[in-house]
Amino acid sequence: MNKSVPEIQQAFKQLRLSETAEELPELLRKAEQSSWTYLEFLEQITTYELKRREEKSIERRMNWARFPFYKPLSMFNIDEQTAITERQLRQLREFQWLEQAYNLILLGPPGAGKTLLSVGLGIEAIQKGFQVYFVTMGELIQLLKTEEYVNKSKTKLKCFWQVENV
């Protein structure tokens, strides 16, 4: 009946609780030091597993998004441009356009902040549970031009036309 920590870790892995399996020795140490009750210990285990799963999910969605750089929306200075108002930015940050499955296409001259704005909105959307795919206008036009005769283009277009809330 008495199993070793490695055996219990293996059981967690079989149950697909791999994050908990890795953290188990540390959680056991904290439980002993803090005299956790059984319920407190179970709460810590489940909280840890759920938190790590969400972090990994965000990481996967960030990788899939293919952002050219990582810059949160806080780096976008609304005062340095005139193409978008603060009210419009707040509306975009409500993500109703994503909930209604609309794509966002930003057009304008070079240096207007389109990429920074789209990356920042994309990062926030991912953190709210949405799936995002970043593509430049040049890439989009190339994909649309070659969709009929290149399977790779067809597949890519299908991926980001069907992006939905995760």
The pLDDT tens digits for 61-80 are 999 999 999 999 888 888 87
pTM above 0.85, yes or no: no
- Give the burial class of 104: count Cβ atoms within 10 A of its Cβ; 0-12 exposed, 13-18 middle, 19 or more buried: middle
CA–CA separation, 160 vs 139, rounded Å? 13
Predicted pLDDT of residue 164: 47
**HSE of 157, CA atoms in CB hemisphere, 13 A:** 17
Contacts for 114 with CB less than 8 Å, ≥ 6 apart: 106, 107, 108
pLDDT for 97-125, tens place per residue?
888 888 888 888 888 888 999 999 999 99
For 100, the token pair is 């209604």
